[in-house]
Structure 1
Amino acid sequence: MRTKVLTSPLVSLALVAGLACASLATAGTSFAASSAGAPKAATTSASGATTQAVVNLGLDRRQAKAVQQWLAGHHGYKGAIDGYLGTGSWKAFQRHLRAHGYNGDIDGIVGSGTIKALQRKLRHSNWNYKGDIDGVAGAGTKAAFERLAQGLLCEPCTTS
């Protein structure tokens, strides 16, 4: 009895896709990929590896360090002044943003609620944000956030 070997391109494509998915599923979290140039800091715990996102919203490390120094001086940031705005930096920023309408969890996650409060702060604190309060960190939000960081570099710890 002869066995037919399937050689159709569709079957071959399905086989390759299946193997690729299986490889990705077993790859684990041993490395952190970057998203649009934003680095990710890998952290490990007793239960295994986890990944902590860094969200600098377009700031370079020097600017992000200025933001961290300001957060340390005014909003309880206790982490490293390393120029990577990770969970600890954003938790401190969320505490500050309470005065600008942020009412979400202090979790360090830069979601739409955090971005909306940041946009309100940037609009009402003379950082020249003119866009919508839409929770999207677009070019206007990033440019105004950069102006805030530059202001912190010029006049350390005087911004509220």
Structure 2
Amino acid sequence: MRPSVLTRSLVSVTAVVGIAAASLAGASASFAASAPTSKPAASTRAVTPLATVNLGLSTTQAKHIQCWLQEHWSYTGQRDGQLGTNSWKAMQRFLKRWHGYEGAIDGEVGGGTVSALQRYLKASHGYEGGIDGQAGPQTQAAFKRFAAWADSVCD
């Protein structure tokens, strides 16, 4: 008598597992079938840069830098006060030409970009810190002096 009870139990458990698996598969298939087939409408909003690195500048101060970059280093973006990728590409062109920047013109503000900026700020805007690639308080203060100077020479 015992073998038939064990067999019936095993058959019952197998049936329950099979029913549960079939239910999940059906739910997955119905969920996939109900997914929308049309593409969402395109957005009309302006795309904003992913990375803005103002290094302590206010929006107004950053606009002064962008003005200078437009007039001298082929920055073609808006003067929006957000130093994004295109602003930094223009800055990297300047730094590559005059201040030892050796990296790619990629608009990413890494240690190489900051070190070259520090060399420029040391030469022209009162930066007295080390060339360490870290945009600390002294670098930011000198960058603000650069922005004030850019305002004085930009339209």
TM-score w.r.t. structure 2 length?
0.67
Alignment of 1:1-160 (within 5 A): 43=47, 52-98=50-96, 99-125=98-124, 127-156=125-154
Question: After superposition, what is the alpha-carbon deviation per residue over 1:42-78, rounded to whole angstroms, capped at 9, x for unaligned?
Answer: 948xxxxxx6110000111111001001100000000
After the TM superposition, which segments of 4 or more aligned residues of structure 1 sit over 4 Å from their partners?
Answer: none
Q: Distance in 1 between matches of 2:150 and 2:74?
A: 17
Structure 1 or 2, whichever has the larger Rg, is 2
State the identity %: 54
Higher helix residue share: 2
Q: CA RMSD in A?
A: 1.6
Q: CA deviation at 1:133?
A: 0.1
Unaligned runs of 5+ in 1: 1-41, 45-50
* Equivalent residue, structure 1, for 2:16: none
Higher strand residue share: 1
Q: Distance in 2 between matches of 1:105 and 1:85?
A: 17
The alignment partner of 1:53 has SS state of: coil
TM-score w.r.t. structure 1 length?
0.65
Q: Distance in 2 between matches of 1:152 and 1:115?
A: 18
Q: Distance in 1 between matches of 2:118 and 2:58?
A: 19
The alignment partner of 1:73 has SS state of: helix
Unaligned runs of 5+ in 2: 1-45
The alignment partner of 1:102 has SS state of: coil
Structure number with higher relative contact order (C-alpha < 8 Å, ≥ 6 residues apart): 2
Q: Distance in 2 between matches of 1:75 and 1:136?
A: 24
